[in-house]
């Protein structure tokens, strides 16, 4: 047993959250050894992403690739919490829980009696996590593409020719997940001292805005509104710029200092470029970016990718291959992050851990159960966690509270 298993083995997290942000937080706790019970709404067929499938996926399975990305190591139970018997199941879980995580539409938590004031009365040690899109007073639902647009990320991403472009992952959801993980860990530490639970809320909008980092500072400090410059960096050159090598293989440069630029020019066999007044300093390279990129593109198109990267690495010039996902996941350094398991129907499935840190006092469990089918763990939750009798479980089924 790892030290993490010992530390988190008694932690119970109730996840009443859909899609990516909330479930990513739930999987974080599952990876650290907690019991994470995913409470899914019978009336909607469970987590929405169970049906978000690629054309090639099994149409009969309710464990889609998207759903599986953030639902390893969890237990699933379907509950109709809109009726008294189903609500009673949730309340019994809350009485035993440490964390209650929800991403209901605005107003629904209060409507179902699952808001913080209602649940705090059942368990004053409960740590409550409330995910919103634009804050408590804004009723707009939270969809990542909309949030990428509203927080400025799409406005900066792409080129003038392409127009605004969405990131290919649900970036704002993931940014919120990190914010909420931090909040909940702080809440757990505070509870150790005070013995009391707490209310924690995070919005997708503020999570996105708080992550604008240097781009926001460019405006707040220098009054510069970032434009769409493709992969180029507004403050550094050549940084983020993609060049095509002889066989059509793309590489990216991340040159951040004048000495790195000098080394780049030497590797490329064009040391005179480093002495050119237009390129002698980073600020001048930013001013003359177009001329610089044209010069570098012409030379790099004559070179083999791997040979070039080896030489750049030897001279400590930051550069990398632009890899497809199959290349990325085939690398040896990715192996420790890969998860292997079988779905409830016996079909093998693979996934990725979301925790990558190493700590000599805390290490994640060596394996995780595969993402659960909808309602796969009804008996575990009702009988093992809540201690319900068979007669009581049958009564709940007859009432339509559980399946």
CA distances from 221 to 12, 149, 185, 215, 396 (A): 45, 23, 33, 10, 60
Separation between Cα atoms, residue 85 and residue 108, nearest integer Å: 18
Tell me how far apart the alpha carbons of residues 10 and 382 are, in angstroms, rounded to a whole number. Answer: 17
C-alpha span between 150 and 200 (Å, rounded): 23
277: exposed, middle or buried (Cβ count in 10 Å: 0-12, 13-18, 19+): exposed
Whether 300 and 238 have beta carbons less than 8 Å apart is answered as no
327: which 2 tokens?
A: 């290349």
CA angle 394, 399, 401 (to 5 degrees): 90
Contact status, residue 39 vs residue 401, Cβ threshold 8 Å: no
State both tokens at 389.
């009798």
Q: Among all residues, which ones are annotated catalytic?
A: 173
> How far is Cα 86 from Cα 401, in angstroms, rounded to an integer?
4
């Amino acid at each position: 047993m790892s030290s993490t298993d010992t530390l988190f083995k008694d932690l119970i997290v109730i996840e009443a959250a859909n899609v990516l942000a909330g479930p990513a937080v739930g999987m974080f706790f599952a990876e650290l050894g907690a019991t994470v019970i995913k409470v899914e709404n019978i009336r909607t067929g469970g987590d929405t992403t169970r049906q978000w499938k690629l054309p090639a996926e099994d149409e009969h399975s309710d464990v889609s690739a998207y759903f599986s990305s953030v639902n390893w190591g969890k237990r699933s139970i379907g509950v109709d919490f809109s009726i008294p018997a189903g609500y009673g199941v949730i309340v019994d879980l809350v009485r035993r829980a440490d964390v209650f995580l929800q991403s209901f539409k605005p107003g629904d938590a209060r409507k179902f009696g699952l808001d913080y004031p209602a649940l705090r009365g059942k368990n004053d040690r409960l740590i409550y996590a409330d995910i919103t899109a634009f804050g408590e007073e804004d009723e707009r639902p939270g969809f990542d593409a909309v949030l990428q647009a509203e927080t400025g990320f799409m406005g900066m991403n792409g080129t003038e020719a392409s127009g605004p472009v969405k990131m290919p992952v649900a970036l704002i959801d993931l940014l919120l997940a990190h914010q909420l993980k931090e909040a909940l860990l702080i809440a757990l530490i505070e509870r150790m001292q005070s013995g009391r639970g707490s209310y924690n809320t995070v919005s997708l909008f503020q999570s996105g805005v708080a992550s604008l980092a240097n781009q926001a500072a460019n405006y707040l400090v220098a009054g510069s509104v970032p434009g769409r410059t493709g992969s180029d960096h507004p403050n550094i050159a050549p940084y983020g710029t993609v060049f095509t090598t002889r066989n059509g293989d793309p590489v990216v440069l991340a040159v951040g200092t004048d000495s790195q630029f000098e080394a780049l020019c030497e590797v490329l066999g064009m040391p005179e470029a480093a002495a050119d007044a237009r390129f002698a300093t980073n600020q001048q390279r930013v001013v003359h970016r177009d001329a610089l990129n044209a010069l570098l593109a012409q030379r790099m198109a004559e070179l083999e990718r791997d040979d070039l990267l080896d030489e750049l690495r030897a001279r400590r010039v930051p550069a990398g291959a632009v890899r497809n996902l199959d290349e990325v996941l085939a690398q040896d350094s990715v192996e420790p992050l890969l998860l292997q398991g079988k779905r409830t129907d016996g079909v093998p499935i693979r996934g990725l851990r979301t925790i990558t840190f190493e700590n000599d006092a805390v290490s994640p469990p060596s394996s995780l159960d595969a993402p659960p089918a909808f309602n796969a763990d009804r008996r575990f939750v009702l009988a093992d966690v809540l201690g319900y009798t068979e007669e009581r479980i049958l009564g709940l089924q007859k009432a339509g509270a559980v399946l």
